[in-house]
Amino acid sequence: MPEEVRLWQVRDGDQLREVSALKLDLESRLETWLAQDISILSSDLLVIGRQVETEYRGYIDLLCINSAGDLVIVELKRDRTAREIAAQVLDYASWVRDLSHREITQLADAYLKDAGPLEEYFTRAFGIGFPETLNTGHEMIVVGSQIDDSTERIVGYLSDEYGVSINAATFTFYQDRELGELIARVFLIEPETVDYKARTKGASKRRPNLTYDELERIASKNGVLYMYERLVRGLQERFYSAPLRECISFQADIDDRKRLAVFNLVPQDSSRLRGLRFRIYALRFERLTGLTHDELLTVLPEEREEWQYYQDAPPDLTGYAGYFRRTEEIEKFLSAILPEDAV
């Protein structure tokens, strides 16, 4: 059960005056506050939709994305019973589970409007590269000014027994003639505990980001370690690098936006026979290096194909994917983008 929250004002002379808690007058206000600043619930969330219509004729109060690229359903309890809210949020989760990369970005871009597109909004907010894969997992958070015992039991049972990523949060509302309006938040279950149970008991598909050492071990196992080390060393002279769930991403600040991916190496999709797998965002890479499109094609390996981040992606999220197979291809590529003393 969430702990009771009491609030005191510290006044002159270390005098304490308790601030009275009141029932939140309108939970619609709480939805508005969350939409305007979701950090009051979690700093790891971004709102990408409000009153999102599902295929089952329901409307998700707030649809969010976290820094791992997973979707999070935030549902206001309002006056619904425990059974109603539990059934509703699980119904929404069954729809969210199957959303594709394209559907998520289209939904988010329509909501974000001028603040988007989603990839740029994500990188500005979190300061990290956009995940290669979205929606490998999802979470549910029930929010209210009060959470009844039945809702607590259902949420706790789903988390404890089955590792479902579900939690509840209560917001206590205070009103004071001196301090004005204040709110305080308490989670039913510590978010770290929910995440741990989802990973150990549930069927979560979420994979953590690989480490640099893990990526090197994969490259070694697949027979491409020398090429991998040479390209990483060279590209790090020009770009930021970040290990992700399936690759190492090379990123740069583009047009005053926070870091966007421009080039990826994927050792786990590589082999001694095929070579070292790469993906390149062509327009971004050309803009950063000054290469024309024809010049870029001359320095990329011949074994390549057109590639897009997801189906019908905009031009900024398209480019080429292929394999480096020979040392000469690597040196030719690096020589075209690095100063002579860095090659």
Site of tokens 């390549």:
304
For the chain, the domain total comes to 2
- CB 280, CB 320: distance < 8 Å: yes
Amino acid at position 210, single letter: L
Could you tell me if 316 and 228 lie in one domain?
yes
Does the pTM of the predicted model rise above 0.75?
Answer: no
Could you tell me if 161 and 281 lie in one domain?
no
Inside any domain, residue 178: yes
What was the pLDDT predicted at 343? Answer: 52
- CB 300, CB 322: distance < 8 Å: yes
Q: Select the highest-mean-pLDDT range: 54-68, 221-235, 327-341.
A: 221-235
Is the pLDDT assigned to residue 77 strictly greater than 70?
yes
Is the pLDDT assigned to residue 239 strictly greater than 60?
yes
Could you tell me if 196 and 224 lie in one domain?
no
pLDDT tens figures, 313-337: 788 889 999 999 999 999 999 999 9
User: Higher-confidence residue: 178 or 233?
Assistant: 233
User: 3-state SS of the chain: helix, strand, coil percent to 5?
Assistant: 40, 30, 30
Could you tell me if 178 and 227 lie in one domain?
no
Inside any domain, residue 119: no
Q: How far apart are CA 221 and CA 5, in angstroms?
A: 54
Could you tell me if 28 and 167 lie in one domain?
yes
| Section 51-78 average pLDDT | 92
Q: What is the mean pLDDT of the chain?
A: 88
Is the pLDDT assigned to residue 2 strictly greater than 60?
no
Could you tell me if 52 and 194 lie in one domain?
yes
Given pLDDT bands bounded at 50, 70 and 90, which one contains residue 258?
low
DSSP 3-state of 31? helix
Domain final residue, candidates 180, 200, 220: 200
What was the pLDDT predicted at 303? Answer: 93
CATH for 162: 3.40.1350.10
Is the pLDDT assigned to residue 66 strictly greater than 80?
yes
Inside any domain, residue 2: no
Q: In percent, how much of the chain has pLDDT > 90?
A: 51
Could you tell me if 84 and 218 lie in one domain?
no
pLDDT tens figures, 183-195: 888 888 888 888 8
Is the pLDDT assigned to residue 46 strictly greater than 60?
yes
Q: Which of 84, 87, 80, 117 is nearest to 102 (CA)?
A: 117
Output the CA–CA distances (angstroms, integers) from residue 269 to 141, 237, 306, 321, in the order listed: 36, 24, 17, 11
Could you tell me if 195 and 299 lie in one domain?
no
Q: How far apart are CA 279 and CA 330, in angstroms?
A: 14
Cα 9–Cα 184–Cα 146 angle in degrees, nearest 5: 125
Could you tell me if 302 and 244 lie in one domain?
yes
Inside any domain, residue 38: yes
Inside any domain, residue 332: yes
pLDDT tens figures, 211-221: 999 999 999 99
Q: How far apart are CA 109 and CA 184, in angstroms?
A: 31
User: Higher-confidence residue: 71 or 316?
Assistant: 71
Could you tell me if 236 and 312 lie in one domain?
yes
Could you tell me if 196 and 251 lie in one domain?
no
Could you tell me if 244 and 267 lie in one domain?
yes
Give the range of the structural domain holding residue 283, as residue numbers without chain letter.
212-342
What was the pLDDT predicted at 230? Answer: 96
Inside any domain, residue 27: yes
User: Higher-confidence residue: 299 or 132?
Assistant: 299
Is the pLDDT assigned to residue 24 strictly greater than 70?
no
Domain final residue, candidates 171, 200, 229: 200
Domain final residue, candidates 153, 180, 200: 200
Inside any domain, residue 328: yes
Inside any domain, residue 120: no
